[in-house]
């Protein structure tokens, strides 16, 4: 993988895409991201998806140096895959790491605004977060039940963790390298999607500047969601665990 060498005008950006059965989405999404500019590269982290997502990426990567696959065959999970992706992106020398879902719910057109927000004048921003809950953001495309779940989860997390953010469930984020290093991303423990809150909590506790950028979240058109009630409840308990660890000075 070779995103253009970092320079003052164009930092190297690696977009990490955790995938599970995203064969219908992954290549068009990777293409749209690579088209954002020569300083962009894409790292797909696939957990040996039964639909062969990883094979498609491996084939495409053979002729596209800015596309890379991390093919994992054990330790499946959104959190574990996300962590592995961050670690690999840092090893590859990224100045900036973007994480987003690989189902087009997070649209490539918002990525440049997230990257630009890291350079907000007059303020140090270490994390730019794609938010449904600030001006310019929306979530109108999804069904009522999903929106209600998101709303309740958001309230619960904000109260429990006290993070200064309107959309605590957003996994569409843009990180400075220094932020990931400071919060020791390699030491995160969440195996599932709760890694989103774990990273957010650790960033807020480190008093790193967080900026929210409005994004339009749209429902996936192709493939299926992996979210289940079991994953959701596990996420809630992980948030409790984070609060408990912080209280005991173990975080």
- Name the site residues for ligand GDP (rule: CB under 6 A): 18-20, 22, 45-47, 76-78, 81, 101-103, 105, 220, 225-227
Q: Write down the least CB distance from residue 143 to Mg ion, Å.
A: 13
N residues, the chain: 251
Of Mg ion, ligand GDP, none, which one does residue 81 interact with (CB within 5 to 8 Å by kind)? ligand GDP
H helix runs in the chain, sequence order: 26-34, 53-61, 78-91, 111-117, 144-161, 177-182, 195-205, 229-247
Q: Write down the least CB distance from residue 119 to ligand GDP, Å.
A: 27
Q: Write down the least CB distance from residue 226 to ligand GDP, Å.
A: 3
H helix runs in 138-193, sequence order: 144-161, 177-182
Of Mg ion, ligand GDP, none, which one does residue 139 interact with (CB within 5 to 8 Å by kind)? none
Give the number of other Cβ atoms within 10 Å of residue 171's Cβ.
20
Residues 6 or more apart whose CB falls under 8 angstroms from that of 247 comprise none
Closest to ligand GDP by CB, 88 or 95: 88
Closest to 82 measured CA to CA, from 157, 19, 151: 19
Burial category of 159 from C-beta neighbours within 10 Å (exposed 0-12, middle 13-18, buried 19 and up): exposed
Instruction: Tell me if 103 contacts Mg ion by CB under 5 A.
Output: yes
Q: How far apart are CA 215 and CA 65, in angstroms?
A: 29
Binding residue count for Mg ion, defined by CB under 5 A: 3
Closest to ligand GDP by CB, 78 or 177: 78
Q: How far apart are CA 11 and CA 91, in angstroms?
A: 15
Q: Write down the least CB distance from residue 225 to Mg ion, Å.
A: 5
Closest to ligand GDP by CB, 104 or 201: 104
Q: How far apart are CA 72 and CA 49, in angstroms?
A: 9
Give the number of other Cβ atoms within 10 Å of residue 83's Cβ.
24
Stretch that binds Mg ion, among 41-49, 98-106, 186-194, 198-206 (CB under 5 A): 98-106
Closest to ligand GDP by CB, 102 or 180: 102
Of ligand GDP, Mg ion, none, which one does residue 226 interact with (CB within 5 to 8 Å by kind)? ligand GDP
Of ligand GDP, Mg ion, none, which one does residue 172 interact with (CB within 5 to 8 Å by kind)? none
Closest to ligand GDP by CB, 69 or 208: 69
Q: What is the DSSP letter of 169?
A: T
Closest to ligand GDP by CB, 1 or 208: 1
* Chain residues that interact with Mg ion, rule: CB under 5 A: 101, 103, 105
């Amino acid at each position: 993988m070779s995103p253009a060498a970092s320079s003052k005008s164009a930092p190297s950006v690696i977009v990490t895409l955790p995938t599970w059965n995203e064969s219908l989405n992954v290549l068009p999404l990777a293409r749209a991201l690579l088209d954002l500019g020569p300083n962009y590269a894409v790292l797909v982290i696939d957990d040996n998806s039964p639909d062969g997502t990883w094979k498609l990426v491996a084939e495409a990567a053979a002729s596209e140096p800015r596309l890379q696959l991390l093919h994992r065959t054990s330790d499946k999970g959104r959190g574990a895959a996300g962590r592995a992706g961050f670690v690999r992106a840092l090893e590859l020398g990224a100045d900036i790491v973007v994480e987003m879902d690989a189902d087009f719910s997070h649209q490539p057109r918002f990525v440049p605004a997230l990257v630009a927000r890291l350079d907000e004048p007059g303020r140090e921003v270490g994390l730019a977060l794609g938010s449904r809950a600030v001006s310019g953001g929306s979530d109108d495309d999804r069904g009522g039940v999903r929106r209600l779940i998101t709303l309740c989860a958001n309230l619960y997390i904000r109260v429990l963790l006290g993070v200064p953010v309107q959309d605590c469930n957003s996994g569409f984020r843009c990180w400075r390298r220094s932020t990931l290093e400071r919060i020791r991303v390699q030491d995160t423990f969440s195996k599932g999607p709760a890694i989103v809150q774990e990273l957010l909590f650790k960033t807020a506790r480190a008093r790193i500047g967080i900026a929210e950028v409005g994004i339009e979240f749209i429902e996936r058109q192709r493939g299926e969601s992996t979210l289940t009630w079991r994953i959701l409840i596990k996420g809630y308990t992980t948030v409790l665990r984070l609060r408990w660890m912080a209280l005991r000075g173990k975080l």
